[in-house]
Amino acid sequence: MRHLASTKTETGREIFDLVRADLAKVEDELSRQSVSTVRPITEIGQYLQLSGGKRLRPALVLVSAKFCDYEGSAAIRLGAVMELIHTATLIHDDVIDEAETRRGRPSTNSRWGNHTSVLAGDWLYMQAFNTALAERNFRILDVLIGLTQVMVEGELLQLNQLRRADLTEDDYLDLAYRKTACLFSACLRVGALLGKKSEEFELKLASYGANLGLAFQVIDDLLDFTSSEQTLGKPIGSDLREGKITLPLINLLSRCRAEEAGKIASILSEGGFYTVQFDEILDLMEQYGTLETARTKAQHFARLAGRSLEGLPKSPYKDGLLSLAEFIVEREY
């Protein structure tokens, strides 16, 4: 199983179709919010915007807001806020990982250097909060502050866990929540807060977002082994090369023989595929079925996401969220 095909690409686009006009406005807002009097910040902001990205997080804010009967312009601005926060984390991730590419283009750190990139990421964080503060909604600010704290803790936790072959699935899921799922959850909560929905409504959407984010991260880590550099925009096997112990690898380490685990240990200690090749590890994963085990886990979280919406009113936006949960586990990029 070297390539996992997607059968729900069209279904996955439904959520973007629901808010396409507003996403164009988010793009305009991002252009405005990425401008600084300091030229390198503006250059990096424009460079990252041109590099694209799925804009999934702003779409989640917009769909959630519309599902919660909110039609104002604050959803546009807060969709941009969530993308700015996400972009800032990507910049910092690339610096920490010493990444050379991002979405098929040179990473910011490889082009501008680590120092400038870190400061640009910090600036984007502050710009996001400056934009959010202008809304004068303190409940939303509480969500964003808590979100940022959890995400920074996730960065520190990941550094502490690098090259550790003793990590458990619970360790992995805790990190996946901090690095990815908490942001998805916050996007859905922001929409509920804009619509002034009940706490129960908000918590259901937050649960949907958290489980969707976990499914997304598991698939992301699976694709690092099964996709291609052209599709991912970065070399396959990057996580293992960088010492990140993801769920497919945790599954493999729990099942393989000692001498096979030694191959993984060699890659972790050498920081690359030198004495042991990537295909050897991929063959072991196929032999022990650990790729399918990871996909099954992602499907589990996608189902939990769908169940989180039970009891909420029928709506095209609810249908879009349900379709997205199905798409997430079948995606190939």
Q: What is the DSSP string of 19-88?
A: THHHHHHHHHHHHHHT--SSHHHHHHHHHHHHT----HHHHHHHHHHHHTT--STHHHHHHHHHHHHHHH
pLDDT of 231 > 90? The answer is no
CATH superfamily of 16-136: Farnesyl Diphosphate Synthase (1.10.600.10)
pLDDT of 251 > 60? The answer is yes
pLDDT of 7 > 90? The answer is no
Rounded to an integer, the average pLDDT of 235-250 is 93
Domains of the chain by residue range: 16-136, 138-316
Q: What is the mean pLDDT of the chain?
A: 91
Residues 6+ away with beta carbon under 8 Å from 190: 61, 64, 65, 78, 82, 140, 143
pLDDT of 3 > 70? The answer is no
- CA 302/CA 292 separation, integer angstroms: 15
Residues in the chain, overall count: 333
pLDDT of 168 > 50? The answer is yes
Q: What is the DSSP letter of 314?
A: P
Give the pLDDT confidence of 132-163 residue by residue, as tens digits.
999 999 999 999 999 999 999 999 999 999 99
Residue 307: pLDDT band with limits 50, 70, 90: very high
Instruction: Give the per-residue pLDDT at 333.
Output: 67
Give the pLDDT confidence of 8-54 residue by residue, as tens digits.
444 567 889 999 999 999 999 999 999 899 998 999 988 888 876 78
Stated as kind and residue range, the H or E segment containing 106 is: strand 105-106
Q: Decide: 15 and 191 in contact? Cβ < 8 Å.
A: no
Residue recorded with tokens 């300091």: 38
**Which amino acid appears at position 327 of this protein?**
F
Residue recorded with tokens 């690339």: 94
Instruction: Give the per-residue pLDDT at 12.
Output: 60
The third-level CATH classification (topology) of the domain covering 138-316 is Farnesyl Diphosphate Synthase (1.10.600)
Q: What is the DSSP string of 174-230?
A: HHHIIIIIHHHHHHHHHHHHHTT--HHHHHHHHHHHHHHHHHHHHHHHHHHHHS-HH
Rounded to an integer, the average pLDDT of 108-127 is 93
Please check whether the two domains, 16-136 and 138-316, share a CATH topology. yes
Query: Mapping DSSP to helix (H, G, I), strand (E, B) and coil, where does residue 102 land?
Result: strand
Give the pLDDT confidence of 170-196 residue by residue, as tens digits.
999 999 999 999 999 999 999 999 999
- CA 33/CA 28 separation, integer angstroms: 9
